Structure 1
Amino acid sequence: MSSRRFALTGVALAALALSACSQKQSTKNEQDLNWSVGGEITTMDPSKATDVVSFTQMINSMEGLYRNVKQGQEPGLATSAKVSKDGLTYVFKLRKSKWNDGTPVTAKDFVYSWRRTVNPKTEAEYAYLFSGIKNADAIQNGKKPVSSLGIKAVGKYQLVVTLEKRMAYFKDLMAFPVFFPQEERAVRKYGDKYGTASKYMAYNGPFLQKGWSGSNLSWKLVKNPDYWDKDQVKLDQISFTVNKTASTAYNLYESKKIDALGLDSNLTKQFKDKSGYYSLANGGTYYLELNEKNPNLASSNIRKAISLAINREDLVRILGGNNQAASTYTAKGLTSVKGQDYTSLISTSAKKLYKYQPSLAKEYWQKGLSELGKSGMTLNLLTSDSDSAKKTGEALQSMLETKLPGLKITVTSVPFKTRLARRESGKFQLCGSDWIADFGDPISFLELLTSSNASNYGSWKNSRYDQLIAASKDTNDQAARMKDMSEAESILLSDAGVVPIYYEDDAWLIRPSVKGWVCNRSEWNFKKAYVSK
């Protein structure tokens, strides 16, 4: 989320965490919930979304071939899937279902959606996930027509997908919103407004979204009466509001207006190990992106100095929660390789750059300044405006200015949606970001930093890295894939292409009455959620 999802998408953990659902205490309907979120919706267009807030809305109001559950996946619109012996052809049979305007969801809706996303004119940041599907790369490079994409409809309810090479993680991708169907009639009807508000969208999932204007901080999901599996949907309504501080969410929890919340440092200490406390690994890493189009940050010595001057252990203590100091870009605990965590395969020497070493930081700093012919510099750090993001920015500002003589850090904190826009347009120097894996494979992280990836906002480039990532996608040999990816990540870390800060782990307090929710990498699935009496 994959993003990734995620892709998030880039604010500090507590700010992005969604504060969980709540029963309306004063209403007659016991299956109405109030839910607090830490950030705004950016879009409801599956081709263009990049953050977990938007993806959570799509997962609950739309549906693709599969749906993520606690362990793996369950069928969504796919009733069966057959794979050819060579692993290059998938045939999906689809169940009968409807869009909210009453028209049937058919295989053609998948064909239209996928073609729309890979079309360069759409400028979809997640289009790279289609790489490996026949002709996807050539289409995105303008070398083949969109109609040549390896997907076709056979009748109304059979979908055939052709790959150029085996993709070990192909089925995992099918539960991600960028691969959901889209109703062509709705896209054409709404034009540029498509996905910019609740009313400019078509839905086929468990819920219908209502009341989001495109900029407001409250909206609802209401049960979809035409959903194919509506008997499994217990909730009638979920009301969402944006709360950017944990203290505000806690006050709502105390007054029984919400039934769960993401915890900040103080609340984590207060409720850890108590009833209702949950620690939810989200497969995410918070890190600094460094814009190498800035001459100062094009220096690997300056980048390394910045990394070595950060006391990650102190920072996670300041922020609280269950975050862990990071020494890799890929989140710890995401993937296991023969019983060992994938991150253990990464070069130890590369990981040492992400330990607090102030003396070594000064050496790299002075070397970098000497190369640039400077005695100091000013750098701006862009963050979101949540409490947690601001606190992170302030802590990093203090650490870097204290340990790197001649460095001045200014911090700019803006609304989440604005931060995403500035980051995507390259209008930043340092940017506090996070990435939450769209699926449980390191490629969800590492592909982002290939030279041609639209999400490589810092413009870091390395040809050997690109080769290794390409090789890892061109085989189903998992041992070979992990070797290639760990070598690539060692190259990335050795050059400080990004500066990992901490691995994210969500701390939650959830009332026992709220049941049936599923959280996968910070994206919440409410299909089977309910409030017990």
Structure 2
Amino acid sequence: AKDVKTKTVNMSVQKTTSTAYDLYQAGKLDATELDSNQAKNLKNNKGFHLYSPDSSNYLVFNIAKNKFLKNPDIRRAISLAVSRKNMVQALGPTSKVANTISPAGLNKVKGHDYIAMISNTSKSYSPSSANKKLAQKYLNKGLSELGVDKVSFKISASDSDLNEKVTEVFQSQLEMNLKNVSVEVQNLPAKALMGRIASSDYDILSVAIGGDYNDPASILDGLITSGSFNYGGWSNQQYDKLISQASNEGSSSKRYKLLAQAEGIALKDEVWSPLFSMVDPWLIRENVHGVVYNSDIWDLKTAYVTK
């Protein structure tokens, strides 16, 4: 208790970030969250900060029910055809490219980000820039294996402004970078989308998924056969085995190695295709110290303000 310098924190709830920013400008708030446009205009401000929650946005493929998406070559073609750089440029400074299932910054292993343990080969399955030539090669291979010469998909996402931009960019990228592919967009109210997920009534989902705690297992455990995040009906015995071994491993370093191996399998199988992670932009006065942001949660026990 002797180390706690701030005894009271006053929280101000505002409906819009513009109102909150006005209060910040008037000296009535010490910190305020920003929207994407504000972040773009204020990114050079000394009090500007970007914080990363433990979630990313992914393409989730319906492997169990869609005959085309059961084919790993077609899933690989879709992932390779998407330019994640172009997508985050369209979304603005509150997003960053994601190449792994576990979000960057989720936790550290021996001082380094956990995702550094995932091989570059695995990361290359979800490249930052589209690889049109390789994507078309995998698509042609998959179509040949299925005995068809074209394919169409529906991509389902919520009807938020963010997801409408995501699906628009995805549709444009796929139809521009792949021949013989057409994409239909379905932006649905959240309740309707959840119903589609529950009944597995979709082709491709664009959704944000995160863990409940700062560890890759919080997400990877859900991808085992019949796991809580395994919306697409994927099943891989080696993956299940590695996750089981990790959950029973007493050595921290060995445990992370097992999780990284399992994540490599999931990336190679294209069970999910990571797209981007969102970041939370904030303005915090320079005389505010000791604030800790951890997995979308503020820890203020060491926070204090100087004059």
TM-score, L = length of structure 2: 0.84
Does residue 365 (structure 1) correspond to residue 139 (structure 2)? The answer is: yes
Q: How does 1:55-70 map to 2 (within 5 A)?
A: none
Q: How does 1:351-362 map to 2 (within 5 A)?
A: 351-355=123-127, 356-362=130-136
RMSD (Å) for aligned C-alpha atoms? 3.0
Equivalence for 1:95: none
Q: 1:334 aligns with which of 91, 103, 106?
A: 106
Does residue 309 (structure 1) correspond to residue 81 (structure 2)? The answer is: yes
Cα distance, 1:419 vs structure 2: 2.6
CA deviation map 1:218-256 (0-9, x unaligned): xxxxxxxxxxxxx96654x76565xxxxxxx34434554
Equivalence for 2:185: 411
Cα distance, 1:439 vs structure 2: 1.5
CA deviation map 1:110-129 (0-9, x unaligned): xxxxxxxxxxxxxxxxxxxx
Cα distance, 1:269 vs structure 2: 2.5
Which letter does structure 2 place at the counterpart of 1:359?
K
Cα distance, 1:515 vs structure 2: 9.3
Preserved CA contact (<8 Å) 2:14 2:20: no
SS at the partner of 2:254? Answer: helix
* Partners of 2:253 and 2:304 in 1: CA distance: 42
Cα distance, 1:514 vs structure 2: 9.3
Cα distance, 1:326 vs structure 2: 1.8
SS at the partner of 2:53? Answer: strand
Equivalence for 2:157: 383
Q: How does 1:258-269 map to 2 (within 5 A)?
A: 260-264=32-36, 266-269=37-40
Which letter does structure 1 place at the counterpart of 2:125?
L
* Partners of 2:206 and 2:182 in 1: CA distance: 17
Which letter does structure 1 place at the counterpart of 2:197?
R
* Partners of 1:279 and 1:485 in 2: CA distance: 27
Greater RCO, CA 8 A, separation 6+: 2
Equivalence for 1:181: none
Cα distance, 1:526 vs structure 2: 8.4
SS at the partner of 1:353? Answer: coil
Equivalence for 2:48: 277
Does residue 252 (structure 1) correspond to residue 24 (structure 2)? The answer is: no
Which letter does structure 1 place at the counterpart of 2:76?
K
TM-score, L = length of structure 1: 0.50
Equivalence for 2:231: 457
SS at the partner of 2:124? Answer: helix
CA gap 1:380/1:530 in 2 versus in 1, 3 angstroms: farther
CA deviation map 1:435-482 (0-9, x unaligned): 223222111121111002132111111000000000000022011101
Cα distance, 1:381 vs structure 2: 1.1
SS at the partner of 2:273? Answer: strand
Q: 1:483 aligns with which of 233, 236, 257?
A: 257
Cα distance, 1:377 vs structure 2: 2.1
CA gap 1:365/1:451 in 2 versus in 1, 3 angstroms: same
* Partners of 2:251 and 2:292 in 1: CA distance: 31
Cα distance, 1:409 vs structure 2: 1.2
Equivalence for 2:171: 397
* Partners of 2:305 and 2:193 in 1: CA distance: 35
CA gap 1:331/1:297 in 2 versus in 1, 3 angstroms: same
Preserved CA contact (<8 Å) 2:96 2:278: yes
Structure 1 runs not aligned, ≥5 long? 1-73, 75-230, 242-248
Equivalence for 1:499: 273
Preserved CA contact (<8 Å) 2:289 2:304: yes
* Partners of 2:21 and 2:50 in 1: CA distance: 20
Cα distance, 1:314 vs structure 2: 1.5
* Partners of 1:233 and 1:420 in 2: CA distance: 39
Cα distance, 1:335 vs structure 2: 2.2
Preserved CA contact (<8 Å) 1:234 1:530: no
Which letter does structure 2 place at the counterpart of 1:498?
W
Cα distance, 1:519 vs structure 2: 4.1
SS at the partner of 2:55? Answer: strand
SS at the partner of 1:282? Answer: coil
CA gap 1:525/1:383 in 2 versus in 1, 3 angstroms: farther
Cα distance, 1:502 vs structure 2: 1.7
Equivalence for 1:321: 93
Preserved CA contact (<8 Å) 1:281 1:506: yes
Does residue 297 (structure 1) correspond to residue 65 (structure 2)? The answer is: no
Which letter does structure 1 place at the counterpart of 2:61?
L
Preserved CA contact (<8 Å) 1:232 1:528: no
Does residue 350 (structure 1) correspond to residue 122 (structure 2)? The answer is: yes
Does residue 287 (structure 1) correspond to residue 287 (structure 2)? The answer is: no
Q: How does 1:28-177 map to 2 (within 5 A)?
A: none
Cα distance, 1:303 vs structure 2: 0.5
* Partners of 1:340 and 1:306 in 2: CA distance: 31
Preserved CA contact (<8 Å) 1:321 1:506: no
Cα distance, 1:521 vs structure 2: 2.0
Structure 2 runs not aligned, ≥5 long? none
CA gap 1:233/1:263 in 2 versus in 1, 3 angstroms: same
* Partners of 1:252 and 1:410 in 2: CA distance: 37
Which letter does structure 2 place at the counterpart of 1:367?
K
Identity %: 33
Preserved CA contact (<8 Å) 2:219 2:229: no
